[in-house]
Amino acid sequence: MKIILPLENLQYDFPVPDQLDGLHHDSIAKICPFCLRLWAIIQVKSKHFSIQGTCCLPCWTPARILPLYAQFPGSLLDDCSRMGVQWELIEHFPQELVQREFKVHLKVFA
């Protein structure tokens, strides 16, 4: 699985078990509905991309948690096409991405 965070200039490439790759129907490109920036690319093998409109971290405010968008803005685990957070992936994430997810989720509850 390859994850690219263009706004943060970060890129990760790490293995996940085949059954977890199967969780994703598509590779995902996350575009913020407020600033229209591509903020995350989640590439799963050679699967084609679906585009998700989910809020990026810089645009997030408490008022911008909308049912149609991710409940955890900036989260790589929050998959609006599957209506939930893909917690199964986190144990395979590099440590830096685990820490990033922790901060993203704390921000919503702070």
Footprint of Zn ion on this chain (CB under 5 A)?
32, 34-35, 56, 59
Closest CA to 86 of 21, 37, 32: 21
Amino acid, single-letter form, for residue 101: E
CA 40 vs CA 19, 56, 110: distances in Å: 22, 9, 23
Residue 30 CB, nearest approach to Zn ion (Å): 10
Nearer to Zn ion, 32 or 77 (CB): 32
Nearer to Zn ion, 10 or 35 (CB): 35
Residue 54 CB, nearest approach to Zn ion (Å): 9
